[in-house]
Structures are given as structure tokens and as C-alpha cells.
Amino acid sequence: MKIDSFLIDSSASIKEALAKIDQNSYGIIFSQKKSGKVIGVATDGDIRRSLIAGLGLDDSLDHCLNTDFYWDKQDASREALIKKLDHQIKVIPILDNKMRLIDVITKENLPEIEERPVYARSKSPVRISFGGGGSDLTHYFSDGIGAVINATISFYSHATLHIRHDSKIIINSLDLGSTLEADNLDDCLNAKGQFGLIQAVIKTINPNFGFELDLNSDFPMSSGLGGSAVVAAAILGCFNQLRKDQWSLHELSELAYEAERLHQGVEGGWQDQYATIFGGFNFIEFKMDQNIVHPLRIPLETLLELEESLVLCNTKIKHDSGNIHKDQRNQMRQSEKHQLVQKNVDLCYQIRNQLLRGSLLEFGKSLDAAWQFKRELSSEISNKHLDKIYTNARKNGALGGKLLGAGGGGFFLFFVPPSRKHILLSHLEKEGLVASPFRFESEGLKSWKVRL
């Protein structure tokens, strides 16, 4: 919009004003002083009425001016301007703080909606597992069927992604307490340090643009909660927001597994990726042709009672799941170890039925049985210290429980009847062990875009 066609000097005649009005074709003119300050407005109707009243074309425009006119500031919202145009205002002058005309708003000249920077955000929950551990390893179900049962809870990994206009890559990890900066993708993937998992995920995605990625989690590293899969899922969720053809939940799970197992080379199973991405209570079966996620419709009363009956306890011992899974792979060559996993799978089906039927006391006993099977799979899964924690928890109210994840440390999950929960919590506190409150999370990976 050319604002000069709306402006006229305060000393101009009515005839000059009409010529300007004819030029801008909006039937209005703004009178300004030499300083540029707008002092009044005249419409073709104002001028017509003045001429009828006896003024001549050579008379000063000042006689026709309306000095009490409507105007708006430069920071007026687009929404407000639309509403004013819809309310019988055809032309809105935009003035600066010195009352100088800087724009003219009409229905043909509304401010464009600027394309602001877009950030992709995501969060993905951790899981607690109840049974079937070890059967989600490919070398186990390569000639059979694996099955696990797990649920996501209210601890998350969070990610924020912003596209850059160059090829530079910046990754900030609050969990690692470090930043990786690289000039391009190759330099990022070849950088040495503690970003192995994140680099493996980036390699799997293979982005063709520079970006900034911020990561942080609500839970400690090496906790047995499937945290590495959760971080991978959060990163994938951000990049998925930028795709026209978005990955499905199954594809996201496969990509997370590919990154950690194939590119990073860390031994492990399949359940963590599916658990965090699908979310909720799931019974998952593993076969060589496909993995099937069966959501469990557990009654609300059962879920509430289960939340009250479960205690998540941090042993404060970090573990290396890759080494434990590697040892477990070697141990699995022994037929008796393979049979132990099969017993765990059979137990997993029982746990599923117990949850669906609300048989929670039987569920608590099954957790104990699952732990006894699991700890026999590898000498690295438990030790005297962990065994002592578990035995003393049983003596102080716990009906059953198990160490989450591969074992060796991380979190214990205990089942305790609510009437004895205070006994267990008091015992854990005396032992210097931290119980972490949680709620079940019914949804898995969530991702969205936000404009700043």
C-alpha cells in the first residue's frame, strides 16, 4: 500500500484533497503537518457536505477535517484489525508514537501472518515390566514366541528440535551434562564422546539439514526403566513432526531398535522401544515375522489399586544392560536357561490374566516368581547386595517384586498390599533407599509443533 496517496499537507486546498482521494480510490485523506504528524482526516463525504454548506474548491481543507478520528498503533493485533474492519470501518490509519502515518489498513491490505520459527517438541514415557524378561531378545524368539507385559509410567524424556538455516548441528543433553557441536552431519556422527546413542539415532534418521536439539529426562541414566529407548523415541518424535509422510508407531519402534541395537551396537531386547512409543498397559508378543502389541483393557478400579500397591525403589546402582544381555545370550545356549525363559513367558500369560481379572494378590506372587526365574538367567543380574534389598523388602511387607530392566542395578519394583505399604516405605527409608512415586501413563510418545 502506497501511503503517499493518502497524505496531504495541512495547507492544501479542497481541490487538491479531492485529487488525492481520487488517486487512492478509498475515499479518504489524512492531513499532516510538515513534521509528518497527522492532525485530521477528511472523507469524500465530509468534503461533499462542506461544499454543499458553501465552501469553495480553493478553500483550505482544514474546514473539512475531523480531528477526532480513529487510528491504531503499529502493534495492533491482526485479529483486532479484522474485527474493526468488520465493524463498518473501511480504512484504519496506523500511526507511530509521533502520530506519523506508517501504514493504511484495509480489507485488501491486512498484515500478513508472518512465518515464525517452528520448534518440534516431544516427550516419551518410561516403562515398568512385569514379566517375560529375556524373551524379547531376537536370539530367543528366532525359533519360537516371546512375550512380555509392561506399562508406561509418569517419567519422561523430553526433546526440542529447531531447524537451522545452515548445516551446523548442536545437541544439548542435560542428562549427559554436555553439548555436541559439529559443522555438518558427518562431523556430528564421527565426533568422539558420550553421545553414542544420540548419534546412532541421528544416523538412522539421516537428516539433510542443520538443527539444534535439546534433551532432558525425568529419571536417572542406567535405571532399568528402558531409558535409552525412551531418549531415542523422543528424538524420533521430534523429527517425525517435520515429515509429510510420518512414521507409524510400529515404524518408530523399529527405528529406535535399529539405532540402539544395529548402529550403536548395544545388546538388548525389543520391548522397551514398543513400550515407550505405544504407551499404556501392553501385552507384547515377539515373532520373527512381526511383533504384536496387545493393549490391555484393565478396569479403572484395578489400575487405581495397583498404583497404590506398587512401590518403585531406586537402588542407586547403575547397570550396564548391554553387558548383561551379552552374558545372557551366551547363557541361553544352555537348554536349562532357555527353559527358564520359557517359564517366564508362560508366567507372563498368567500375569496378563491376573491383571485383567483384578487378581492383584496373585499378581504380586507372580512378580516374585518372575524375579526368581530372571535372576537365574545370568550371574550378573543380581548380587548379594541386591538380594539383600529384595529379601528385606519381603520381610517388611512386600509380597513380591523384581528388578527392572536387564538387572545389575537400577530400580526394584515391589508389590505390597496397601495395608502394609507404610511398613515397607518406613523400612526403605531407614535403609537409605529412595521410593519414587509415579502414576500410570496411558499414552506413549507424544510430539507436536510450536511457533515462537
Q: What's the CA gap between 25 and 91, in Å, rounded?
A: 11
Q: How far apart are CA 33 and CA 21, in angstroms?
A: 18
| DSSP codes of every residue in 141-209 | HTTS-EEEEEEEEEEEEEEEEEE-SSS-EEEEETTTTEEEEESSHHHHHH--SS-HHHHHHHHHH--SS
Q: Is 401:371 a contact under the CB 8 Å cutoff?
A: yes
58 is catalytic: no
Q: Residue 32, SS3?
A: strand
Contact residues for 443 (Cβ-Cβ < 8 A; gap 6+): 125, 152, 279, 280
In the chain, the N- to C-terminal Cα span, in Å, equals 28
Task: Give helix 271-278 / helix 249-257 axis angle, nearest 10°.
Answer: 140
Please identify which residue in the block is written with the cell numbers 479542497.
14
CA torsion 82→83→85→87, rounded to 10°? 170
Alpha-carbon distance 142 to 68, whole Å? 84
Q: Which three cell numbers stand for residue 218?
A: 525425568
DSSP summary character for residue 446: E
**Cβ-contact 95, 38 below 8 angstroms:** yes
Q: Pick the closest to residue 416 from 431, 435, 433, 401 (CA basis).
A: 401
Closest CA to 47 of 88, 79, 74, 13: 13
47's enclosing H/E stretch is: helix 44-52
Nearest to 230 by CA among 288, 277, 183: 277
Q: Which helix (H) or strand (E) holds 239?
A: helix 227-241
* Residue with the three cell numbers 505405544: 278
Catalytic residue among 214, 272, 327, 368: 272
Distance, in Å, from the CA atom of 29 to the CA atom of 31, rounded to the nearest integer, reads 7
Whether the CB-CB separation of 397 and 424 falls below 8 Å is answered with: yes
What pairs with residue 182 in β-bridges? Answer: 169
Active site members: 272
